[in-house]
Structures are given as C-alpha cells and as structure tokens.
Amino acid sequence: MMQVLETHQQDTAAVYAYCQLATELLGTDDKLAKEYAYRAQSISQRLNKPGLEAWAKNLIGLAYDYLGVPDSALLFYQGSIEIKRRLNDIDGMAASNMNIGVLYYYQNDYTKAVTYYDIAMKQFKQVDNEKRIAGILNNLGTIYREQKKYKEAIDVFNQSYALKVKINDSTGISNALGNLGIVYQHMKQYDKAEQLMMQSLNIDIRSNNKYNQLSSYVSLADLKLLQHKYEEVKQHLDKAIELGKGLDAAHYMDDAYKVYTRLDSMTGDYQSAFRHIQLQYEFKNKVIQDERQKQLDRLETVYSTKEKEKEIDLLNANAQIKNLQLQKQKKQLFTFIAISASLLVGLILFVIGFRSIRRAKRELQQKNEIINNSLAEKEMLLKEIHHRVKNNLQVISSLLSVQSRYIKDEKALETINESMERVNAISILHQEIYQNEVLRAINAKNYFENLSKGLQQTFDPDKKVDLHLGLDDIMTDVDQLIPLGLIVNELLTNAYKYGITNTAPSIWLTVQQSDNKIRINVRDNGIGFGETIPGTGGTSLGYKLINMFTTKLKGKLIVKNNNGADTTIECEIKK
C-alpha cells in the first residue's frame, strides 16, 4: 500500500490505500489510524468523491472511539451517515448506526445503545446482510445479560447462533455459544452452561483462535469454581495461563489469576494465593498503565493542538501589525498629498476629501470585521474548552470505574461510586454549556432533566421507581448551576438509596421560579429521616456538601418529614 501512495498521492487509489491502512491500524495504533483516515477524507473531498469521504469519516469516528473521545467519534459517525443517506447507501448507514450503538454500550447507556442497534437492524434487514444482523443480535444479548433479562438474552443469542451457522461463521458460532453458556451460568444451570462453553472451546481449538480459547478456559474455570470442582478449575486455569504467555492479553491474564486467587483461598493454599495475587496485580497494573497511556496520548494531542493554535494566533497577529503599519504609511502619504494640493481648486479638495472619508469608512468596517471574527473565535474556543473539560471529567469517571472493580470494601466502594456521580453531575453541565448558543446563561430545565435521567439509569435501570419531574424553563448562570446541580445530585442519590422502601416507590423533583428566586424540592415516599432530621449540623459528607453549597448560594435549606424525606432549597437567581 505504501507503494501505491508513492505513485498515486492525490487520486482515488490513494484514498483507498489510506482507508485500508487506517482499518489495519485500528486497535493497535489508533492515533496513526486517525491520521491516515483524515488524509483520506481530505483527498476525497478535493476529488468530490462522497462515497469515499463517508468511508473516511466512519474510520475517523472509529479511531476517536478507540482513543476514548466519544463526542468526536459521534460527530464523525453522524457525518458519515448524512453522506450515505444522500447516496442511499443503506448498508453503510446501518454500519455507522451500529458503531454508535457500540459507543453508547461502552458508556453504559443501554437505552441509547438499543435504540441505535434497532435502527441498524432494520437497515441491515433491508439489504439482507445476515452477518451484520447476527452481530447486532449478539450485542443485544450482551445488554440483556447485563440487565439480568436472561430470557430475552437467550432468545437473541439463539437467533444470532442460527444466523452464524447459516453463513458458516466459526468465530461467530463460538461467541454465541460462549455467551449462551455465561447466561445459563448466571441462571445456575451449570450443566447446560458447561455443555455450551465446551462446544465453543472446541470450535476455537479447531480454528486456532487462541484469544477465544484463553477466554473460554477462564470462563470454564469460573464455572467449575462455583461447582467446587477445584481440580478441574486448576486444569482450565493452567491451560489459559500457558496460552496467555505468547499473547498480548493482559485483561484475560488478569481474570485468570483473579480466579486462581479465589481457588487458592477456597482450598486454603495461602502460599499459592500470595504468589497468584502478585501475578494478578502485575497484569492489573499493565491494564491500568495501558489506560493511563491512552489518557496521556489524549492529553498530548490536546497539548499539540493548543501549540498549533498559538502559532496560528501569532502569525495572524504579525499579519495584523504589518497591515496597520501599511495603513499608517498610506495615511501619511495621503496627508502629504493633501497639504501639497491645498492650493488647488475647491473641486479637487472636495474629491480628495470624499475619497478619504470613503476609505476611512472601509477601514472601520474592516476593523469591525476583525473584532467580530475575534469574538466568534473566542466563543468557539470557550466551547471547545468546555468540551475538553467534559471529556476529561469522563476520563476521571472511567478511571474511578476501573479502580472500583478492585475494591472489596463496601464502604470504600460506595464512596468511589458517590464520587463518580458527583463528577458526572459536573460533566453533564459542561456538556450543556458547549452545546448551548449562549455560554453564560444555561437552561436549568434541560440540565436537571439530563442529570435526573442519568441517575435513574445508574440506580434504577429497570425504572421500578416512579420519577416525577416538574421543571420550569429557567435561564441561570453557570457558576450558580454547578452547586445547584451537585445539591440535586446528592438529594436524588439519597432518595434512590434510602427512600424507596415503599411498595410503590416514587421520587419527585421540582424546579420552580418565583419572581427572582429559584426553588428546588426533592422528596420521596420512603421512611423519611426518622426522629433525627439532618440540618446544618449533619455529619454525613452528602449533607455537609449540601449545607456548604447552600451557604455559598446565600440560600435557605428546609429539611422535613412529609410522608417521606422532603428537602427544599431556595435562592435568588443569578443572571
């Protein structure tokens, strides 16, 4: 392909070569894959080849997705879909919609993931793409399994398996069988689970798929551990570890040694447990280091972009200085001519004066254009800053999520999860800011709606609790909305944790404007606060934060029992 690029640098052959290179590099060198895809997009736009441009945009989206920048990935996916819609490329539209579904799945936003999977499924059915339909069914089954909807998961995994058999996709058949086995394991039907997992493993052995073999051995070991068949657990783990020695599979090896440590603890072999837990930490640290390296790569990209922006600003400033110097020289010349021509007739003076006025007006218009352009650039930069802050907050949330997987202490885990929700509350606000036309004034209704729906997705994905929202359209200042958002985050979190003891649990959030004041009320129909109602002297971190932010807002906090916990905050609206 590099030979093609040397001889066809600016034609369709170069676009194909760059796209193929980007495809090969995805998952191994995502930064370079993104660079090649950008080059393909630039050449295809210059050649006016929309089909190739759509391909390149989809690859850029995938690269951003792998780099952990979901907002940019979504932007390019949508751009690719728009071009494919104009070209009536239904299969291409479906592929990009499926990518968006995967993006939302890894953000744990299962509702949006299912929505885009359904769109992609309908489009693939229009073009009879059975391979992709089977892939979407497999992804849907994984979501249902995560949600503990085991009947639905088994149904779609079986549909996926049938299609994979029809098109003779051995890897797909293996994945479907393995996924079914895990569902039956969760349902405690261990014999059925083992039968399916062994079928999956045998297929992987025949096709020499070592990564899938490693995963299957770990899954079988975990299953046998639940059955207390310790010798079989050890056999499966030893095979997995031997396979992993020749592979770059830190995640799988981390899982293998984690199961080995549990086995050692259950059999009382604490010496082996100590040795295996050390090995587990080595692979866990490698996984964390990989995640950190991805974060550093993202920060390095941001830094490089900022440096380039500074260079551009400096060049523009130098150009403006030269422009002003030239204008000054012209003014001096015109002044000299005016003095020299002062003895000429009045008509000449009139003409010269008229031309000077017209020139001054034009210069004023040019300066106004420069000022307006500068203001627009600053506003765009501020939006980009909020965009990047939101992305960095998501990185922090992801790191906290990764760390929480290795925390066993329930109190510490609860603290980590609460911190994640606080970070997410601020992240949602920054998303509202950069999507808003006016940066200072933000619509509180949209923000509190997104915040409450996010908490509902976290604490009540099956929507067993009735969430009632009464939100007024209120425009308020960003600096005021941040503490208000954190207060509401704490109150809704407490409501979901302690206020759903009723047989028909409900939570109410109302945000109302009265004159120049904003009034926020959160209540539930649970057991309430009991005899001790938390006030300004509350000892929990949550109520300390609520009191601190209420004081900062110069507001009033009202806490009472009202057939459940009832909390109100009032403060003046800052505009």
pTM above 0.75, yes or no: no
3-state secondary structure of 563: coil
The more confidently predicted of residues 397 and 36 is 36
Give me the sign of the Cα torsion angle 138, 139, 145, 150.
negative
Residue 468 lies in a domain: yes
153 CB-near residues (< 8 Å, 6+ apart): 141, 142, 144, 145, 179, 183
Between CA 170 and CA 173, with CA 171 as vertex, the angle to 5 degrees is 65
| Distance from C-alpha of 545 to C-alpha of 443, rounded to nearest angstrom | 24
How many residues would you count in the chain?
575
**Cβ proximity of 465 and 496 under 8 Å:** yes
Q: Report DSSP letters for 345-393, one per residue.
A: -HHHHHHHHHHHHHHHHHHHHHHHHHHHHHHHHHHHHHHHHHHHHHHHH
Residue 442 parent element (H or E): strand 441-443
**Cβ proximity of 66 and 44 under 8 Å:** no
3-state secondary structure of 343: coil
- CA-nearest of 143, 176, 137, 172 to 156 is 137
Give me the sign of the Cα torsion angle 282, 284, 289, 294.
positive
- Using the predicted structure, report yes or no on whether residue 306 has a pLDDT greater than 50: no
- Using the predicted structure, report yes or no on whether residue 79 has a pLDDT greater than 90: yes
Residue 562 lies in a domain: yes
- Using the predicted structure, report yes or no on whether residue 296 has a pLDDT greater than 70: no
Task: Over range 242-247, report the average pLDDT.
Answer: 83
Between CA 28 and CA 35, with CA 34 as vertex, the angle to 5 degrees is 115
- Pairing relation of β-strands 506-514 and 466-471? parallel
Q: Within 26-87, where are the H helices? A: 30-47, 50-66, 70-86
- CA-nearest of 307, 305, 309 to 317 is 309
Distances 68 to 299, 389, 397, 458 between C-alpha atoms, Å: 11, 14, 12, 21
Helix, strand, coil content of the chain in percent (nearest 5)? 75, 5, 20
Instruction: Express as a percent the part of the chain with pLDDT over 90.
Output: 29
| Distance from C-alpha of 240 to C-alpha of 454, rounded to nearest angstrom | 38
pLDDT band at 298 (very low <50, low <70, confident <90, very high): very low
| Distance from C-alpha of 425 to C-alpha of 96, rounded to nearest angstrom | 29
Q: Report DSSP letters for 483-529, one per residue.
A: HHHHHHHHHHHHHHHHS--SSS-EEEEEEEEETTEEEEEEEESSS-S
| Distance from C-alpha of 450 to C-alpha of 473, rounded to nearest angstrom | 14
pLDDT of 137-195, one tens digit each? 999 999 998 889 999 999 999 999 999 999 888 888 988 999 999 999 999 999 999 99
- Using the predicted structure, report yes or no on whether residue 317 has a pLDDT greater than 90: no
pLDDT of 105-131, one tens digit each? 888 889 999 999 999 999 999 999 998
Residue 531 lies in a domain: yes
- CA-nearest of 156, 188, 191, 189 to 175 is 156
> What pLDDT does residue 121 have?
92
Q: Report DSSP letters for 159-188, one per residue.
A: HHHHHHHHHT-HHHHHHHHHHHHHHHHHTT
**Cβ proximity of 289 and 270 under 8 Å:** no
pLDDT of 527-554, one tens digit each? 888 776 775 445 577 788 888 889 999 9
Residue 508 bridge partners (DSSP): 468, 523
Residue 360 lies in a domain: no
Residue 520 lies in a domain: yes
Average pLDDT, the chain: 79
pLDDT band at 308 (very low <50, low <70, confident <90, very high): very low
Residue 194 lies in a domain: no
Residue 67 parent element (H or E): none
Q: What is the DSSP-derived secondary structure letter of residue 464?
A: -
| Distance from C-alpha of 109 to C-alpha of 103, rounded to nearest angstrom | 9
Please tell me the total count of domains within the chain.
1
- Using the predicted structure, report yes or no on whether residue 213 has a pLDDT greater than 90: no
> What pLDDT does residue 4 have?
45
> What pLDDT does residue 64 have?
92
Q: What is the span of the domain harbouring residue 547?
A: 440-572
Residue 474 lies in a domain: yes
CATH at 469: 3.30.565.10
For residue 287 the two structure tokens come to 């996984």
Residue 527 lies in a domain: yes
- CA-nearest of 232, 275, 231, 230 to 257 is 275
**Cβ proximity of 188 and 180 under 8 Å:** no
Choice among 273-277, 414-418, 555-559, 566-570 with the minimum mean pLDDT = 414-418
pLDDT band at 325 (very low <50, low <70, confident <90, very high): low
- Using the predicted structure, report yes or no on whether residue 37 has a pLDDT greater than 70: yes
73 CB-near residues (< 8 Å, 6+ apart): 61, 62, 63, 64, 65, 99, 103
- Pairing relation of β-strands 441-443 and 475-477? antiparallel
| Distance from C-alpha of 515 to C-alpha of 55, rounded to nearest angstrom | 53
The more confidently predicted of residues 417 and 143 is 143
pLDDT of 433-469, one tens digit each? 656 555 557 788 888 998 898 888 888 888 899 999 9
- Using the predicted structure, report yes or no on whether residue 318 has a pLDDT greater than 50: yes
- Using the predicted structure, report yes or no on whether residue 301 has a pLDDT greater than 50: no
pLDDT band at 397 (very low <50, low <70, confident <90, very high): low
> What pLDDT does residue 303 have?
34
> What pLDDT does residue 373 have?
59
